[in-house]
Structures are given as structure tokens and as C-alpha cells.
Amino acid sequence: MNLQDKGKTIGEMYAEDKGNEELKKLMKELREPMPAIVEISSFQYEGKVYWRLLDKSEDITIVNGNLRYVAMVGEGINAIFMKYGSEYYISGNFEVVSQATIEHMKRAMAAFKDLESESESFIKEKEHSGISGAELNRYLNATEGFSTYIFEHPIMDISELRASHIAGYLNWMKRLPFLHYSKYAMRNDTAVLKQFFQYLYDKGRIKDDKFKEVRA
């Protein structure tokens, strides 16, 4: 393989070797696989299936004639998808995901998006109070890190947030192998998250105020 071929798919290298511009364009469109779990919203003609990503509302088309025989509307598909034009094709095997699991995942996604929205509002409030620069970055880093933790440790509703989630986040940060989580960073994150929880508590989004007792 030549150095200029590094990172290219076999299809792209074949198209370049043949000098076929149309095939080169097609291979480039097919280059990026998309692993995802999607929800089936309806079956259409000619083996086409309408589906949606769990954090989206619009329908997109999968072309696969076998899905209608193994899955139902409301269930999901866990697969790697390849895009061609405006349609997607399943690459390799796929797994059917139950409707109950899909509903559970959708609730968790909705709670996560709600948390992100509240985090953005909290940061804007801090900006309006005059906080900026390095100090504002402290707030951003803590709230964004906490959102990432919640994405990996889902909740079903923002009202479920407890002091234990702050403690869980701090322990999770300490265990990340690529991050040196200093005592200073831990104290900073604790202080920011306690303010964020107070913000949620004042808005009535959470009821438990034991977060005030959390120590770094």
C-alpha cells in the first residue's frame, strides 16, 4: 500500500486505480459507517423501512427487505449502517431490540437532553452575573463532565438526581486512566455541581437537598 492510500477503503483505492470518477464519488459516500440503535417507525414498499435515531424526530430510510419479517414497528435495530445517497443500508449482521428497551432508551435520552438544557441555562445565568474567562470555563468543564457521566449512567428523569450522583461523578473522574484528577479539580467540580444542584432545587426540578452535604 502506498502512503497516499493510507486511510482509504479498498473500494476507494479500486475506483482510483480504474480512474472511475463516478465510482470514486460513490465509494466516498459509502466510506463512513454509522453504528447506531434505531427505532422502526413504519414499513414501506420495496423493502424500505422508515426509522429514526433515538434523539431525533425525523424519519430516515433503511433499505432492507428482511426487516419486516423479523422486527415490528416500535422495536429497534442495533447495526452498522452505510449511507448511499439519501438512504441507508445495513452492513453485516443486525440485532433486534425490544420495544421496552427502546422506550427505556428514549426516556433516558430525553432526560439527558433535559439535563443539558438546564446546564446551558445555568451557565448563561453565570455569564449574566458577570462570570467570564477562566472562571466560566471552570463551570463549563464541571457541568459538561457531569453530563458525560450521566450519559454513561442514565437516569429516567432529571428529578432522580441525588447527592450520590455527584459522588459517583467524582469517583468516575478519579478512575479515568487518561486523566490526572487533582484535589483542586475535585474541589472545584464539587463546588460547581453543588451550585448547579441548588439551581435545579430552586427551580423545583429536584426535591432532595442532601447535595449540600457533599464534600470533595
- Domain spans of the chain, in order of start: 1-31, 34-97, 101-213
CA distance from start to end of the chain = 53
5 has a pLDDT exceeding 50:
no
Q: Is the dihedral of CA 68, 72, 78, 80 positive or negative?
A: positive
Which amino acid makes up residue 200?
L
Going by the DSSP 8-state scheme, the letter that residue 20 receives in this structure is: -
Give the pLDDT score at 3.
Answer: 36
Report d(CA 21, CA 198) in Å as an integer: 59
Of 24 and 146, the one with more pLDDT: 146
CB 51 within 8 A of CB 77: yes
C-alpha cell at 111: 432526560
Report d(CA 140, CA 120) in Å as an integer: 9
pLDDT band at 14 (very low <50, low <70, confident <90, very high): low
C-alpha cell at 102: 427502546
Give the pLDDT score at 195.
Answer: 96
* Least confident residue range of 1-10, 109-118, 144-153, 179-188: 1-10
pLDDT band at 6 (very low <50, low <70, confident <90, very high): very low
Report d(CA 13, CA 6) in Å as an integer: 10
18 has a pLDDT exceeding 80:
no
For 101-213, give the CATH class. Answer: mainly alpha
pLDDT band at 107 (very low <50, low <70, confident <90, very high): very high
45 has a pLDDT exceeding 80:
no
Give the pLDDT score at 46.
Answer: 66
Q: Give me the DSSP letters along 109-145.
A: HHHHHHHHHHHHHHHHHHHHTT--HHHHHHHHHHHHH
